[in-house]
Structure formats: C-alpha cells, structure tokens
Amino acid sequence: MFPGARADRTAARYVVVGAPLDVSTTFQPGTRFGPDRVRRFSRTFDDYDHHTDSRFTDLSVHDAGDVHAWDDAGDYLQFLRGTLTDVLADGATPLLVGGEHTVTRAGVEAVTERDDSPDDLTFVCLDAHLDLREEYDGNPLSHATVTRHVLDHADRAVILGARTGSEAEWERASEPDVTVVPPSEVADWTPDFDGQAYLSVDIDGADPAFAPGTGTMEPFGLTSREMHRVVRAVAPRALGFDVVEVNDRDDGQAATLAGKLLRAFVFAHAAAGDGTA
C-alpha cells in the first residue's frame, strides 16, 4: 500500500494504480519494480504537508494495488484503461505509477474518453525525451511513442525538460500542438494554457544526479526542486496524474523523488478544490 493511502475504494478521491509494465525499455530494465519501490521509499514521509496545511491521510487516497502486467502491451493498455476509467467514473482522480512511460496512454485515454471528457485537454509532461516517435525498433507501443499517441486524444502537449529526440521527433515537436520547454527554462515556466490538464512525470526528466534509477539516464536535466514547482503549478488543473520509468537500479533516489512528487500532486490538487479550478 502506498503509505497513507488508506481510504476505502468507494470513498476515495484519489486512487493509486500500479502499472509495472516493463517490456519496451530500451536499455536498463527494471520498471516492473517501480510501483513497489515507490511505495517502499515513500514510507519515511511525514503525513502532514506544510505547504498546504493538510495531511495525506485526510485526503482520501486509496491504493488499488498493481494491475499485473504481461508482455502484450496493447492488451495490457486496454485492460489498464478500463481500470482507470472505473476510477474516474467513481469521481476519483487516478494516480498511475509505472512501469514504463507507455502506460500513460491508458491514463490519457481514460480521461478523454469519458462522456464528460474535457473540451480542451493539455498534456503536460516532465521528460528528458520527446517520446514523439511513430515506432521504436518496430514497436508502435514503445515508451518512446507515448506522447505521439497521447496527441491523438489531447489537444496539445507541453514537454518540460525535454532535451533529446530523433530528427523526426523534433520536427513533430515544431508543430503548433507541441511546446517544448528546455531544462534551462523550466525554472521560470508557468502554465500558459486554458482548460484542463493531464500531468505525466517521466522521472528521467530529472538529471541523473536526482534520479539515477531509470531506464535511460539523460544528463543536463532538471533538479528536484524544479520538478516540484511544476507539479504544484499544474496539479490544480489536472484530471489525472502519473509518474513513470522508475526502476530499481539506484540507491532509492528515483523512487523517493517519484513518491514525493506523487504526494505533492495530491496535496496541491486537493488544496485547489475539485481539480477544475
């Protein structure tokens, strides 16, 4: 159980869903251990949050455990989307914990394919990578394609901290529905879009110093404080949240940061009201 996530499923305003998918990781595998590890390294956190003067255990968070992953990513995403759709149908906000970035697709689809889906949804993403490929090594469901898939459903994408991609990805990124904020400008970024958001945190948006335990480390990245600021700024408008790409190949830094950002999201989202403020 994510520490403090002790609300009942039915009463919950937030539902943690683990999605340990780990099939398309290009380099260092281990995201299958991400959800467990994030829960484990979150044990040390205080219940109380000073920024929002609230307690995590008062915010009605439920941990639904993991959606067991298998190696057919397409089938898995469909099943996962069903789980998340149920969460949303119950009026709760999903907090997806990967697993590889691919799982974000299920999160965004769950948000956008509801009857009361938002008119205008911005996909905000902290990521070292553009993830705008059409396929990777022949695989159209690779983590490196997730933002492209998401753009089939969201109105635009804002990718914060992105610093690498293929030439085709950068071309795609130059179209009007994509905004790339390089690492050096993230500290000063504030949300400049209308409507609602889905917030996805690929932990490799951080510099490897802050999150070495991830599949593809990419230097020259964000500090933990920069990521914290973004999460708190976007949370009030977010309908869904995920944190992905944490593996078990470090001394806990990546999982600790991921768990803390998940909590920061909940605190800021709850403080802002119903998420549509």
Rule CB under 5 A: which residues touch Mn ion? 101, 127-129, 131, 202, 204
Measured from the CB atom, the residue of 28 and 83 that comes closer to its own copies is 28
Give the Cα-Cα-Cα angle 202, 248, 62 (nearest 5 degrees): 65
Contact 208, 218 (CB under 8 A): yes
Contact 11, 64 (CB under 8 A): no
Residue 260 binds: one of its own copies, Mn ion, none (C-beta under 5 to 8 A by kind): its own copies
Contact 234, 192 (CB under 8 A): no
Residue 114 binds: one of its own copies, Mn ion, none (C-beta under 5 to 8 A by kind): none
What's the CA gap between 56 and 43, in Å, rounded? 12
Q: Which residues pair with 156 in a beta bridge?
A: 122
Contact 207, 254 (CB under 8 A): no
Measured from the CB atom, the residue of 127 and 242 that comes closer to Mn ion is 127
Other CB atoms within 10 A of residue 159 CB: 27
Residues that bind its own copies (CB under 8 A): 22-30, 32, 36, 40-41, 43-48, 50, 53, 55, 70-72, 137-139, 163-167, 170, 183-184, 207-210, 212-213, 215-221, 223-225, 228, 249-253, 256-257, 260-261
As given in the structure block, the two tokens for residue 182 are 């390089």
Residue 74 binds: one of its own copies, Mn ion, none (C-beta under 5 to 8 A by kind): none
Residue 81 binds: one of its own copies, Mn ion, none (C-beta under 5 to 8 A by kind): none
Measured from the CB atom, the residue of 58 and 71 that comes closer to Mn ion is 71
Closest separation in Å from C-beta 111 to its own copies: 27
